[in-house]
Each structure stands twice: as C-alpha cells, then as structure tokens.
Amino acid sequence: MTPLIKIKRPTSEEVRKYTIEKVDEHYELQEVALNKLFTKTYPKNDDINDILIKASSLNDFYSTNIFSIFPVAKHIKDLNIDKGLEDGDLSLVSNIASVNINGVNKKFYSFASKYCSHHKPEKFPIYDYYVDTMLKYFQKTDSFYKSKKMDLKNYETFCDVINEFIKFYSLGEFKIKQIDVYLWQLGKVAFPRNYKKKSKQ
C-alpha cells in the first residue's frame, strides 16, 4: 500500500514535528485527564471501582471497542498487576489482553498495552494499528530490525522492535511515549483507516 504522503526518514526534527506541531488540543487534554486518573487519582489496581473508572475512560477515549468492560476490570483486579507494573513486567500485557467474556475468549491487545502504558509510559509502549503500520513500513524501507521475524502481536517482540527503531534512527533523546505519538500521528496521516475506500473514488 502506497502512503498518501511522502514519508521522510525518522529524525529528531520529524519526531518533534509530529509530537508538538501536529498534536491537536483534544488529544492533549484527553492525555492530561488520563494521566491524572492513572497516576494521581487511582494509581493502584486493587479496587474494582478504581479499575472500572480507568478501564471505562480508556475504552471511551481510545475507542477500543470493548462492549462489556466489567469482566475486563475484574480480570485486571484478579491479576494483581501493581508489582508487575512497577517492575516493567512485559508479560502483563498479554495476561491482561486475554479475557473470557461469557464463555468466549477475547484478546484486547491494544487496550492492554494502553492500560499498562498509562501507568508506566516509559516501560510499556502502546501497540496500535498505526504504530504497527509505520513500523512495518520502516522495516520494509530500511530493514532496521535484524531478527528474522517481526511479530508485533507478541508484546515482548514489539518492545524490542521499538527499542531497535530508536537505536537505528538515533532517536535516543526522546522518551518512548514520544516515539509512540510520532508513529501514531504519522500513521494516521500516511495510512488513514479509510485509505482503501478513498483510493477507489
């Protein structure tokens, strides 16, 4: 698939452009609210009511399409994730993602990465459709990740790919959260979800 814009090589200037200039007020205010909720108001995950508020807000703001949030919140509480979050235990994402709802096994991978990231943004990068798309694009362009298989649906591999991306393009001055936002914002512009529909008109 051809991008709708000319994608420049990742540089400090490009990252700053997509994390400062092109970030709209709606996103900034949403992130301020979520950061307050996750790190100040309800930093722990041992009370189902606190988890419900955080999970519901995240689901609404990011449109993660979880239609029954209570089983997800209960699942998070049962996992006792606070120590794992503090330790940066990457297996938490796959553990949170796998939920049984009314006898059906569901996988909320993107939501789980967002839930962990909003507690500890520098330990847990966010997996997202646009981040996935951009990492695959840059891999195809520059082969920055040298391992044979780049399985971004495996969270440990995804984190490894993000770190290799930062090293390869010399972007160590930026926090992981900033790299997340850069890839997400660039992906929205270069490969919008309605790309195929528009291209046929």
Shared-domain flag, residues 41 and 110: yes
Q: Which of 117, 136, 168 represents a domain boundary (last residue)?
A: 117
> Do residues 80 and 135 share a domain?
no
- The neighbour count for residue 174, using CB atoms within 10 Å, is 16
What is the domain count for the chain?
Answer: 2
Q: What pLDDT, on the 0 to 100 scale, is given for residue 2?
A: 87
What global pTM score does this model have? Answer: 0.92
User: What is the per-residue pLDDT for 197?
Assistant: 40
For residue 18, what is the DSSP state? I
- Per-residue pLDDT of the chain in tens (201 residues, 90 and over written 9): 789 999 999 999 999 999 987 777 788 899 999 999 999 999 999 999 999 999 999 999 988 889 899 999 999 999 999 999 999 999 999 999 999 998 999 999 999 999 999 999 999 999 999 999 999 999 999 999 998 789 999 999 999 999 999 999 999 999 999 999 999 999 999 999 874 443 322
* Residue 100 DSSP one-character state: E
Q: How many CB atoms lie within 10 A of CB 199?
A: 10
Residue 174: predicted pLDDT = 97
pLDDT at 200: 29
**Structure-token match 């452009």, residue found:** 17
Based on the fold, state whether residues 139 and 73 are members of the same structural domain.
Answer: no
Both tokens assigned to 194: 């309605």
DSSP string, 22-89: T--HHHHHHHHHHHHIIIII----S-HHHHHHHHHHHHHHHT---S-HHHHHHHHHHHT-HHHHHHT-
The whole-angstrom distance between residue 182's C-alpha and the CA centroid of its chain comes to: 12
Range of the structural domain that residue 77 is part of: 35-117
Return the pLDDT at 1.
76
- The total of other beta-carbon atoms located within 10 Å of residue 89's CB is 15
Q: Quote the CA–CA distance of 82 and 65 in Å, as a whole number.
A: 25
pLDDT of residue 104: 94
Is 49 inside any structural domain?
Answer: yes
Q: Are residues 111 and 163 in the same domain?
A: no
The reply to whether 73 falls in a domain is yes
| 138 and 182 together in one domain | yes
Please check whether residue 1 lies inside any domain of the structure: no
Which residue, 86, 117, 148, sits at the end of a domain? 117
139, 176: one domain: yes
Last residue in a domain, options 62, 89, 117: 117
**Same domain (yes/no): 142, 91:** no
Considering the domain architecture, whether residues 23 and 40 belong to the same structural domain is answered as no
Same-domain check for residues 41 and 112: yes
Q: Measuring CA to CA, which residue among 43, 147, 153 is closest to residue 109?
A: 153
